[in-house]
Structure 1
Amino acid sequence: MRAVQVGTSWAGLLAGPVAWAASTQANYSLVQWQCVNRIPIIPILALCFLAVAVAGGLLSWRAWQRGGASFKPERELSTERFVAMLGMMVAALFALVIVIQGAASLILDECIR
C-alpha cells in the first residue's frame, strides 16, 4: 500500500509500454471476432488499457511530487525524481498511442481485407 500512498517512480515506465503491448495484441486478436459479432470491443478495451497507462503515470507523478518516493535509501533524490519524470512522460506517450489505436478502430472497418 505504500506504493499507492507515496507513488512509485518507475510505475509509468512499466505500465505504459505493457498496456500498449497488451492493447496491440488484443487489437490483432479480436479483429476477426469483432467482424463476426459487430460489437466494438476494441475501443472498449482501449479505454481499459488507457486506464492502466494513466494509473502508472499517476503513480510516477505522485512519486515525483513527493521527491522521488525511493524504496531504496541508497538512491539519490535527483535520480528518483528523474525516473519519476521519465515515467510520467513514457506513460503519457503510450496512453496517446493507445487512444490513437482505439480511435482508429472506430473509423476503419474491421471486415475489410
Structure 2
Amino acid sequence: MRGLPSAGLYAGPAAWLVSTQANYAMVPWTCAHGLRAVPLVAFPLMMFSLAGAFLSWRAFGRSRAAGIGTAPMPDASRAAPLDSPEGGRPHRLVAIIGILVSLLFALVIAVHGVAGIVFDGCER
C-alpha cells in the first residue's frame, strides 16, 4: 500500500463532523440515561482521523528511487518529479497538509472526548 496523499484532508474533517453531530444528538439520551457516551464515540472517530494521517504519511514517505512520481517536462527534454512545481502535481505537499490537518482534527476530537468525561451532559 503506497498511501493516498489527500486521505488526511478528508478523513480528519469528516471524523470531526460526525463527532460534533453525534455529540449534539446524544445530549438528551446521555442526560436521561446517565451514560457518558461521548468518549465512546470520540475514540473510534479519533482513530479514523489518525488512519487518514497514516495514509497521507505513507504517500509522503514513498520512495522516489523506484521512479514513482516523474513526469516529462513540457519540452520533453527531461523528467521532473511530480512534487516539483514543474511536475504539476504537488503530491508531497498535499500529503504533508493532509497529515497536519488530520492530526489537528484528531486532537479536536480527543478534546471533545475528554470534555465528555468531565461534563455529564446535563449542565445548564
Give yes or no for TM over 0.5.
yes
SS at match of 1:77: coil
Q: Which amino acid is 2:45 matched to?
A: F
Q: Which amino acid is 2:94 matched to?
A: V
Which of 54, 57, 66 aligns to 2:53? It is 57
Instruction: Count residues in correspondence.
Output: 107
Structure 1 runs not aligned, ≥5 long: none
Coordinate RMSD, CA, aligned: 2.0
Q: Retained in 2: the 8 A contact 1:43–1:103?
A: yes
TM-score by length of structure 1 reads: 0.87
The answer to which structure has the higher strand fraction is 2
Partners of 2:103 and 2:27 lie apart in 1 by 26
- C-alpha displacement of 1:77: 2.5
Q: Retained in 2: the 8 A contact 1:12–1:56?
A: yes
Q: Which amino acid is 1:110 matched to?
A: G
Structure 1 match to 2:62: 66
1:92 partnered with 2:88: no
Partners of 2:8 and 2:120 lie apart in 1 by 32
Structure 2 match to 1:76: 82
The answer to which structure has the higher helix fraction is 1
Structure 2 runs not aligned, ≥5 long: 73-80, 85-89
SS at match of 1:44: helix
Percent sequence identity is: 42
1:16 partnered with 2:16: no
Residues 36-92 of structure 1, C-alpha deviations (whole Å, 9 max, x = no match) = 11112110100011011000000000000005987xx78823410000000000000
SS at match of 1:94: helix
